[in-house]
Structure 1
């Protein structure tokens, strides 16, 4: 290849690869819509009052190679050292087979939340493995399929305890609780009216002083101390006498060699699975966990994978108890968790599968031995070791010398924890080598010796765990590789075909965006590493926050929230803090349109606000007359309105500027939910058309992949008057106890302390490890590319609405009959006339090789379709053709050709086993069932792509909710 060819290839605009339709396809789509160009379509769709005409003030687009060079430079400016800081974050080794075939595999990271279980059996099994690991190690009956991080998991556990023990007002925290957890719990508790008491001494004594509904025990503690089992038993006994729940904040690896929390009386166990092979990522994303005792499972927040059966009677996995989802609970919700950390939970579960129980125990013993070796050397050298019972963390007392020791260790390539002027914490991880142990000893001026010190005391575990065959069957590289491939083959992800989910934005996650998260400087850095060792992250975060502020029109952005739900909470807490600073403590009403995302109401409830719902007008827009009436009735109590723009109904509402004016006139603040920012980016800025605060979904508009239901990032942007109320964090690297201003250059994630607004995530910068994805996306798209992406999102949605409108009515449209980036197809009349439901259509789309659109949200009996800018016209046409073919089958039911119960719609999806069975009991041919729309028999369909076969036929949802079962084989299965 010539140098000219290389140069030409390198300069190809990335936007041309990100955006699906080419020039010819664009022209054909515009012709169908009757417009001459994209500008005309935007003019017809977007209200002129909010339209921005000035270009985005962003750097010119970089090529893929240029951005990768830039990100390598930033990663190289971080200095990970060997992380021995601890505090819930530990050095670990991600097995390459898992890193390459899960974390870096689009079959896993481009999958969506498994709401369609028939095409999600692989990741559901992986999550069930995760639940089994957590349940086995904690000894508790039921585990969820992950939460956001350890600190928010503790807060969720306290909220659970409040639900089942509503009389008490106090939650007691162990004095040895992780400091970031104490801070997050205080943030969350304030809005819920819970008093948080951090016990200075014995927890049993604190239970005598306070009427507590929950007590949190950190074991091992932040200092490393491992309380004796008798002490833990006494705490649990006293708590239960007081009718309080006992919450154990615990360590998964420690529990492989120490007694399970259930053994000494814990009702709930929470923690992080990070040290099960998940990179440190400067704080996230990591999968938190929660397990509960029998009887508490129906109060469990987040998601729960259970076992049901499909239409053929075969056991199959599904999300259980979906009525607990917060979009149903709305203002009665006690949790706003929407996404979890599925991709990271899968990594952690596969780490357990890869190592098995014996391997995990060996790792834990190695870690404990390393800690004992350091403790022995310190003790032999005359250094006081504060605790004699510990798992992996040694607390050393060196009066007046702590900073000197920590600095010396850093020079030798090891990060230690500076506790205070007199104490140093040393936490040993799986990655610690003998040379690291020697470096620690040198920093203390002691000699590594052969006299280990410390023990697990009476905490040693005798009970077996991980007896399920999956944890003993895949220990060779070959077996592990094949198991991962087997599971991913059962799933449908974006690497197979279009996922047209309205409101969820399943678009291209380019390889060039994904690659940098594995760079050592990004993957291996502890969140509490010294600021001078995180300069690359600091610069990346500064730039990304600045870019996000520019595109949204806000004064500042914090990237701390590690999910959209947490961004919502942070934004509402900022509003609450602002009102309180002005003496308006009585402003506690949050107005929410009836069409809003379900997490909106849940977040408002968690922020201590009372939800008042605003009606929707006949066209789906916010009823401004109803808004005015409710503002007048609550003139001095309105804190905010939360409105999604463009609306959840998929239209640009004309009255948005009037809505902002009305709320501001009443003294309230305007929260524009940024979930649909991908319809505005480059065309309008919320911060300039009247909004005061927005959260953004980097896992939607800015290309962080959904990963099967997480990770996510939900930055929050605010106007200048709300900047002081962005979330702070007590563990911000380099922060002292003074307010670290967030305005201007260097604003990262809010202040160190802030004006009474604490952290919403365990780590200062939330899920920092995946920020390079959005950074790369914005850098490669540039200002023009980002605007083009928005225009093509509008083009795709309007193209689908035009092609399908005569077959399925489009429920809501805006000006000139246009939709925004998504459209709602109304099936209600067809359902009434024929009995064909949205579920039937969704399952039949699987036979055509598609994930279904969003079902029955925001309107029951409808499908919300979002094509995104990344799909080509060919793929959009394939989807439209499938929907038109399905309409033909609905007509056949209406005409009596097939009874609904004996139609391909009701019996969808069709598995390979069903289509190839000896008997075919249906009224329609096999080819219609398995190869709809004329696809011929054989591996390659008429479209030239491989036929996707679902792993299960239609799954019985009700059966699964009635039968929450353990998936472990009976004891007899383990007999020889």
Structure 2
């Protein structure tokens, strides 16, 4: 008999469409608890219905007065057909546009077993490294690949895109500058989208951007850094060695944005003196996706390891002395350093970095070089043919891109003629065309290009004839002579059988949603339904260049328009920008919009940003990036914003107040009753309210930020709207704004969007990471307005149920006015340090033995855990988690009673690995079985941590961030 989720809910969804009853209610599949389980939980909480619970949990003054004006949910089958029809409006042309984006071949073994595999895409950020060794190894491979190919000493575990990476390089150089220089020099040969992203970042920080030619810049103006493109955006390869030397003499750091594949043939930037190297790994097997998501890379010198932005995977050892991986030097990160952080970046592009690293593992150094040589050979062949047709080409050497001078011929005519053959070329200017080849280019493509440039005439030669004459060697001045990818991992897995086994060996070391609940507060690890994920790899979404003409992307435009309309209705805002490709980018973009609004009104002095002390670390870091000064606001003993302190600070800074950043429900998991008053205070003192939408999943269908006073809000599509976390990325952080801020939303230089008053581009692609937006489109359409509201209600129910069940064992730290929490609860574990020498980490690691990913640890309050069960977990799984926590409390009680040693016990020794249990001698005061199999469930479904507890301090003292032989780690 089919399960339903509540009478009223079922009655609303069992509707008649076209005279036929619905047979497939997705809401029932998305929500974890059954109708009977909902009733049981409500009964234990003392409520007769979900509506009664919500009436007490959510302040009545902000509740929606009518249901969301969205269509009702539809079936997976129906919506996949509808989305396929929308996708078919996109035209997949052969794109030779280049500009950092290339067609590539995703090896099917990687597509099916990583990109389409929930064992990889539902993993969380590896903050619990004992159950994340698989993706940490893949990321270490990524770092090694980048270090080897760039010739640098250290690399991070990926950034959002090439433009963002270049902007991060500029701000890092700025922070390292010894003098008072305020200018950053950028080569005009950089990709135009990169130049714009850098300009946007610089404007807020008061940095002057100088754009010019590296061949003519005389260093007659003080600069703190410079940015070069290698090869240049038009394909030219320049010898930058002299420029780099002159820059260093001027005490400026040099960043090189380099094409990673070309570095298999070209001298790496590290060998001609670069200080920082950035770029994209998109062409390493990651689909174009109309611009993303892709993994950028960032490499630099070891000297700057504490300034490098983003995440860094390093090698340490575990409690048994075995090599183990973890995130290194985390004191650099924004959640620790806040307004003094090196960057606000919170999201890496882990899933895409894993794909790129596996592409390198699969092909190895020889395979990558063969791919690069083939592309270059085709490019040389194309060049010879174009010369025979009478065209002039650039004089500099090239790798995969040609700059074609059409002289008296009109470039636009050629581009239009190419379009008629379903070919996209780059129109550089009225006399110049760019043509970029890639891994997917064939001899037939060359023949088609020759016919386009020959005025639709078949040339008197063939690509095969030209290929025999093509010279494909680079001169000693440019050719690479150093080795790369020499670690065995890049030579062992070239057959599909071996790579498949390697992928699954790594996957087995990682706990994902395929294993158990991941109850992380603030991170919302809920169901990423298969139907939502399927469209991501459709060619109509995946194989489109981000700068393809808009008339070829009408399907995407329809999807964007509908998704923006839905998000506007859900949030109460007038305008939505989909460009921010991470939550941190959404924060940054939202604050820049507020800044631009003030400046357009002549209020250039408004630079104070009020931020509650409980805020996520990205908030103050983003405010500093937006050129604002952070003023903290106190919280009261209940965890709410201290309204009196807010009022005093707002009035104190009335003349200079720019914004308040506030999270709602609060970072402490509570619906603050005073949110309308808080917004009114800020507005009364001339400021704007930025609402951090990290907790929007507690509001959808119940209240809307635009209705209770927020001016701008970012939305984490990777939380509330079901884009999966992918092991720490991708994410999406679009922003919604009120009508007066719409003119200031992000624009883009290459694909004109937005208004002239807009803040400029904050991401390389106009719509951020478009190929994952179908996930959120599917989720909203599948759920419908009623289903989305039901999801919010059940998320609040599940959190309150856990808080209630665990209250006798672990007191809840914060509650709302009526003794309820929102969608997450904070459990106070601080007492156990005093009573049993048990730290919060001990409880977290012991939870791994019970088969769970630990909740969020020591944030936002040290010594606590924050639990968010989401709406997708069943009562059975919630009870299993509660039972585990209660059992751990009993284990602590034995320590408190003196029955167990305070240092040698189940919690201090957790997590228990198979290797530790297989030792001949067992010196623990409890049986092996008690350590490894604390419940019946674990006997039947054991997830073994790959390593024992990791020594983070050792790893930071002995920093290793690339692949070395394992005996080197252990020694």
Superposition TM-score, scaled by structure 1 size: 0.95
Question: Which sits farther off after the overlay, 238-247 or 827-836?
Answer: 827-836
Distance 2:590 2:228 in 1: 30
**Could you report, residue by residue, the CA deviation over 1:443-482 in whole angstroms, capped at 9, with x for unpaired residues?**
1105545154786343111111100000000011100100
Pairs within 5 Å for 1:34-45: 34-45=46-57
CA contact (8 A) 1:172 1:206 kept: no
Which residue matches 2:191? 178
Which residue matches 2:427? 418
2:618 aligned with 1:599: yes
**Could you report, residue by residue, the CA deviation over 1:918-959 in whole angstroms, capped at 9, with x for unpaired residues?**
2111011111111114x3xxxx646xx411110000000100
Provide the secondary structure at the position in 1 that maps to 2:306: helix
CA contact (8 A) 1:117 1:318 kept: yes
**C-alpha spacing 1:537/1:310, structure 2 compared with 1 (3 Å):** same
Which residue matches 2:232? 221
2:714 aligned with 1:695: yes
CA contact (8 A) 1:375 1:452 kept: no
Which residue matches 1:361? 369
Which residue of the other structure, out of 44, 64, 68, is the alignment partner of 1:32? 44
Pairs within 5 Å for 1:634-649: 634-649=653-668
Distance 1:313 1:611 in 2: 43
Deviation at 1:832, TM superposition (A): 2.1
CA contact (8 A) 2:140 2:961 kept: no
**Could you report, residue by residue, the CA deviation over 1:685-742 in whole angstroms, capped at 9, with x for unpaired residues?**
000111100000000000000000000000000000000000001111xx3xxxxxxx
Provide the secondary structure at the position in 2 that maps to 1:154: helix
Distance 1:702 1:124 in 2: 26
CA contact (8 A) 1:573 1:757 kept: yes
CA contact (8 A) 2:328 2:956 kept: yes
Deviation at 1:575, TM superposition (A): 0.4
Which residue matches 1:143? 155
| Structure 1 gaps, min length 5 | 736-749
Which residue of the other structure, out of 533, 543, 554, is the alignment partner of 1:535? 554
**Could you report, residue by residue, the CA deviation over 1:53-98 in whole angstroms, capped at 9, with x for unpaired residues?**
3111112212101111112112211112122100000010000000
Deviation at 1:393, TM superposition (A): 0.3
Question: Which sits farther off after the overlay, 346-355 or 454-463?
Answer: 454-463
Deviation at 1:901, TM superposition (A): 1.2
Distance 2:557 2:904 in 1: 60
Distance 1:861 1:972 in 2: 36
Distance 2:322 2:102 in 1: 41
Which residue of the other structure, out of 183, 188, 211, is the alignment partner of 1:198? 211
Deviation at 1:421, TM superposition (A): 1.2
Provide the secondary structure at the position in 1 that maps to 2:224: strand
Pairs within 5 Å for 1:83-162: 83-162=95-174
Distance 2:446 2:418 in 1: 10
CA contact (8 A) 2:238 2:396 kept: no
Q: How many residues align?
A: 939
Which residue matches 1:294? 302
Distance 1:194 1:869 in 2: 46
CA contact (8 A) 1:334 1:606 kept: no
Distance 2:828 2:953 in 1: 25
Distance 1:532 1:792 in 2: 42
Which residue of the other structure, out of 208, 215, 219, is the alignment partner of 2:219? 208
Which residue matches 1:582? 601
Distance 2:474 2:430 in 1: 28
CA contact (8 A) 1:441 1:448 kept: no
2:244 aligned with 1:236: yes
CA contact (8 A) 1:375 1:453 kept: no
Provide the secondary structure at the position in 2 that maps to 1:688: helix
CA contact (8 A) 1:911 1:953 kept: yes
Pairs within 5 Å for 1:363-402: 363-399=371-407, 400-402=409-411
Which residue of the other structure, out of 408, 413, 423, is the alignment partner of 1:404? 413
Distance 1:549 1:424 in 2: 40
Deviation at 1:224, TM superposition (A): 0.5
Distance 1:540 1:969 in 2: 46
Distance 1:124 1:591 in 2: 36
Distance 2:45 2:53 in 1: 8
Distance 1:532 1:444 in 2: 23
Distance 2:65 2:318 in 1: 53
Which residue of the other structure, out of 330, 337, 343, is the alignment partner of 1:329? 337
Distance 1:905 1:75 in 2: 52
**C-alpha spacing 1:562/1:855, structure 2 compared with 1 (3 Å):** same
CA contact (8 A) 1:379 1:453 kept: no
**C-alpha spacing 1:166/1:73, structure 2 compared with 1 (3 Å):** farther
Deviation at 1:334, TM superposition (A): 3.9
CA contact (8 A) 2:113 2:500 kept: yes
Distance 1:604 1:448 in 2: 58
**Could you report, residue by residue, the CA deviation over 1:642-699 in whole angstroms, capped at 9, with x for unpaired residues?**
0000000000000000001111100110111100000000000000111100000000
2:639 aligned with 1:614: no
Which residue matches 1:738? none
Distance 1:880 1:643 in 2: 31
2:959 aligned with 1:964: yes
Pairs within 5 Å for 1:821-900: 821-900=823-902
Distance 1:321 1:8 in 2: 59
Distance 2:341 2:201 in 1: 14
Superposition TM-score, scaled by structure 2 size: 0.95
Which residue matches 2:773? 771
CA contact (8 A) 1:857 1:864 kept: yes
Root-mean-square deviation over aligned CA pairs: 1.6
Which residue matches 2:926? 924
